[in-house]
Chains A and B, each alone.
Chain A
């Protein structure tokens, strides 16, 4: 077991493309770190650099206390699970799992013992003599996991391991991976583009965009205290609503003033905890964000807007509104009867408004 430290690590490809730009990241021993971001954000490249499959252009990578830049991947004692499983098709499940152990020159009894143990925890005991071709997607995924686990590696790397599974199986495997991490107590680094996976599985989440780390924090902090506009918009489903407006202060009370075209101006009351920070933005343009579940209906005041579509999801309804030329979402329970075309008024919870600087896109308060 070991932690991982990336110091000013970057990756520049031969064609000049900068996939990862001087990132610093400390992954604590035993942590479940999820790298998440849209495609092309550099998350997979980062993972592959940790694995050693991709050379590091500049910076330092430490696993435990050891500098790893020049260590071959086969000598790093790391296991990796690939998106398409990458099982060896000409070997049985047993041979697939034994491949790495034989290379470690373990004796046959030990190999057999380890494989049987792991096969039991993953419920693949009955599949050991089969070839990968004869297995279902979920079973293949388990074998790929098993092949990683039997080696007792210092670190597990996973590159979108669930994205080839159907939705139901994915939810099931998600829970199993969380359980596995608890049992093994080993460092996991997990790459995904799916923010639900990130939120449910990670002890911490590292959100990346364009080769840069946008925020590293626990799932709660990422959700409740996003550092910038990108993280606020990327994490959460449906995504956070953003409004353009001005920050005002009237008689010690803060307000946000905005305009929604033909439906007129709107004014949201707001609670500001750090008044010093808010001062320079008074009377200036600002972006404020509210999550769909933090918006309530109101009879007067608030924001007036037209309903475009309503989506019933069983226990809840998503109401899409046309606001400032964009589509905003309000999440409410299914008992509310609103239909497309209605004109309604909404107002956000004053405690739950996030403010962002329109130039730097960083969170203000």
Chain B
């Protein structure tokens, strides 16, 4: 009886939570299909009898949104590839190799992810201006600031789960350290690498501040920044903003739906001992 009660309570809590999370997105999606006149006031609350229009989307695609989506995609992909690669090497070293100040190093790596972005953005901007790297795909480099520590952390847990004998066995088979890493360790840590890659991609895709500061030229803007520019001198085009939000969310949604199995197994396998 008690069990039944707790499980119902649990379900109610989850439903409530999902509602809180999903409702804004639902509202945004509904709004994106309404004319500007029905976004505000009492008309906004009407679900029945509202006017359906794709006008917002038509207007949105007249703006450089597609170009900014392309930028986002390229920058996020570059970030995902190189950060995953570097993170797996770092995490492997921390998880498996013996060297001095290993713990301190790990703590420092994780601590960098705690720095508020406001602090690091100034120096990064100056460096970029001096190197002439503003308005370019080089913005992927400072993106490691937000993604690398998390990725390293996820991968450390995965690498340390792989039995040590697996590597020792490969060593006895005559395999060098680097060969063992690529042929044995990486395939075994695949779920973890997958999780890390997806989290990196989503992190890069959602990034705003660095992009806003470093890529000021319209041709180099990412999608998130582009949304913030959907405004006139005196007004914000909420219809287009909501349409853009839907468009920008779609790629991440697709990724999550396609790879949900891997993500879940990746996340939980870090927590459970087999």
| CB contact under 8 A between A80 and B188, given known A74-B175, A100-B174, A103-B179 | no
Q: How many A-B pairs fall under 8 Å by CB?
A: 58
Contact (A88, B163) CB under 8 Å given A82-B168, A82-B169, A104-B174 = no
By secondary structure, the B interface counts as helix
In the bound complex, what is the Cα–Cα distance between A82 and B172 (angstroms)?
A: 11
Contacts of B179 in A (CB 8 A): 103
**A142 contacts the other chain (CB 8 A):** no
Decide if B174 touches A86 in the complex (CB within 8 Å).
no
B172 touches A73 (CB 8 A): yes
Contact B173 A151 (CB under 8 A): yes
> Within 8 Å of chain A (Cβ to Cβ): is B166?
yes
Contact B171 A73 (CB under 8 A): yes
**Is A89 an interface position by the 8 A CB rule?**
yes
User: A87's closest neighbor in chain B, by CB?
Assistant: B169
Q: Which residues does chain B contribute within 8 Å of A90, judged by CB atoms? A: 187-188
Q: What's the minimum C-beta distance from A273 to chain B, rounded to whole angstroms?
A: 47
A78 interface hit (Cβ, 8 Å): yes
B173 and A82 contact, CB distance less than 8 A: no
User: Could you tell me the distance in whole angstroms from the C-beta of B158 to the nearest C-beta in chain A?
Assistant: 14
Interface residues in A60-84 (C-beta closer than 8 Å to B): 73-75, 77-80, 82-84
- Contact yes or no, A74 B187, CB < 8 A: no
Quick check: A82 and B165 within 8 Å, CB to CB? yes
Contact between A99 and B172, CB atoms less than 8 A apart: no
- The number of residues on chain B lying at the interface, defined by a beta carbon within 8 Å of a beta carbon of chain A, is 17
Give the total of A residues in contact with B, Cβ under 8 Å. Answer: 24
Cβ contact within 8 Å between B188 and A78: no
* Docked pose: A77 CA to B172 CA in angstroms: 8
Q: Quick check: B187 and A99 within 8 Å, CB to CB?
A: no
A90 (CB) vs chain B CBs: closest residue: B187
Q: Which residue of A lies closest to B190 (CB)?
A: A90
In the complex the two chains form, is A53's CB within 8 Å of B188's CB? no
Q: In the complex, what distance in Å separates the CA atom of A78 from the CA atom of B174?
A: 9
- Choose among A52, A84, A89, A103 the residue that contacts B173 (Cβ–Cβ < 8 A): A103
**Is B170 an interface position by the 8 A CB rule?**
yes
Contact between chains at A100 and B188 (CB < 8 Å): no
Shortest CB-to-CB span from A120 to chain B, Å, is 21
Per-position contact with A for B153-172: 1 when CB-CB < 8 Å, else 0?
00000000001011011111
Residues of B participating in the A interface, judged by any CB pair closer than 8 Å = 163, 165-166, 168-176, 179, 183-184, 187-188
18 CB contacts below 8 A, A to B, read A52-B171, A53-B168, A53-B171, A73-B168, A74-B174, A74-B175, A79-B172, A79-B173, A80-B169, A82-B168, A83-B165, A86-B166, A88-B188, A99-B173, A99-B175, A103-B174, A104-B174, A147-B173
